Amino acid sequence: MIAFAILIFLFLGSVEGFSTKSQPCTYDKEKMCKPALATAIFSTVSFLLGAITSVLSGFLGMKIATYANARTTLEARKGVGKAFIVAFRSGAVMGFLLAANGLLVLYIAINLFKLYYGDDWEGLFEAITGYGLGGSSMALFGRVGGGIYTKAADVGADLVGKVERNIPEDDPRNPAVIADNVGDNVGDIAGMGSDLFGSYAESSCAALVVASISSFGINHDFTGMLYPLLISSVGILVCLITTLFATDLFEIKVVKEIEPALKKQLIISTILMTVGIAIVTWIGVPSSFTIYNFGVQKVVKNWQLFLCVGVGLWAGLIIGFVTEYYTSNAYSPVQDVADSCRTGAATNVIFGLALGYKSVIIPIFAIAISIFVSFSFAAMYGIAVAALGMLSTIATGLAIDAYGPISDNAGGIAEMAGMSHRIRERTDALDAAGNTTAAIGKGFAIGSAALVSLALFGAFVSRAAITTVDVLTPKVFIGLIVGAMLPYWFSAMTMKSVGGAALKMVEEVRRQFNTIPGLMEGHAKPDYATCVKISTDASIKEMIPPGALVMLTPLIVGTFFGVETLSGVLAGALVSGVQIAISASNTGGAWDNAKKYIEAGASEHARTLGPKGSDPHKAAVIGDTIGDPLKDTSGPSLNILIKLMAVESLVFAPFFATHGGLLFKIF
Which residues have C-beta within 8 Å of that of residue 625, sequence separation ≥ 6? 155, 158, 159
Report which residue type is found at 424.
R
- pLDDT for 561 equals 93
- pLDDT for 216 equals 76
Give the mean pLDDT per block of 10 residues along the chain (667 residues): 91 83 73 83 94 89 89 92 91 89 93 89 88 90 86 85 82 88 83 84 87 77 88 93 84 82 88 95 88 79 93 92 89 94 95 96 94 91 91 88 88 89 87 77 84 88 81 92 96 91 92 90 90 91 90 94 94 95 93 89 86 88 90 88 92 88 80
* DSSP string for residues in 442-499: HHHHHHHHHHHHHHHHHHHHHHTT-S---TTSHHHHHHHHHHHHHHHHHHHHHHHHHH
Domain boundaries, the chain: 51-666
pLDDT digits (tens, 9 = 90+) for 145-168: 888 888 888 888 888 887 788 888
Q: Which candidate, 451, 446, 439, 442, places its Cα nearest to that of 388?
A: 451
- pLDDT for 632 equals 85
CA gap 108, 69 in Å, rounded? 34
pLDDT digits (tens, 9 = 90+) for 299-328: 889 899 999 999 999 999 999 889 989 998
φ/ψ of residue 288, rounded to 5: -145, 150
CA gap 153, 539 in Å, rounded? 11
Q: Which candidate, 577, 587, 609, 135, places its Cα nearest to that of 364?
A: 577
Contact status, residue 453 vs residue 648, Cβ threshold 8 Å? no
What is the three-class DSSP state of 316? Answer: helix
pTM: 0.90
- pLDDT for 180 equals 87
Of all helices (H) and strands (E), which one includes residue 296?
strand 296-301
Distance in Å from the first CA to the final CA of the chain = 36
- pLDDT for 27 equals 64
Contact status, residue 571 vs residue 615, Cβ threshold 8 Å? no
* DSSP string for residues in 553-606: HHHHHHHHHHHHHHHHHHHHHHHHHHHHHHHHHHHHHHHHHHHHHHHH--SHHH
DSSP 8-state secondary structure symbol assigned to residue 245: I
pLDDT digits (tens, 9 = 90+) for 590-630: 998 899 889 888 888 888 987 888 899 989 989 998 998 89
**Beta-sheet pairing, 288-293 with 296-301:** antiparallel
Of all helices (H) and strands (E), which one includes residue 33?
strand 32-33
pLDDT digits (tens, 9 = 90+) for 538-578: 888 988 899 899 999 999 999 999 999 999 999 999 999 99
Contact status, residue 505 vs residue 156, Cβ threshold 8 Å? yes
**Bridge partner residues of 300 (DSSP):** 289
Contact status, residue 123 vs residue 39, Cβ threshold 8 Å? yes
Cis before 168? omega within 30: no
pLDDT digits (tens, 9 = 90+) for 174-225: 898 898 888 888 888 888 888 888 888 888 888 888 888 777 777 778 888 8
- pLDDT for 26 equals 66
Residue 118 CA, chain-centre distance (Å), reads: 35
Q: What distance separates the 2 farthest-apart alpha carbons in the chain?
A: 82
Which residues have C-beta within 8 Å of that of residue 358, sequence separation ≥ 6? 326, 333
CA gap 380, 455 in Å, rounded? 6
Contact status, residue 476 vs residue 470, Cβ threshold 8 Å? yes
- pLDDT for 534 equals 92
CA gap 178, 155 in Å, rounded? 13
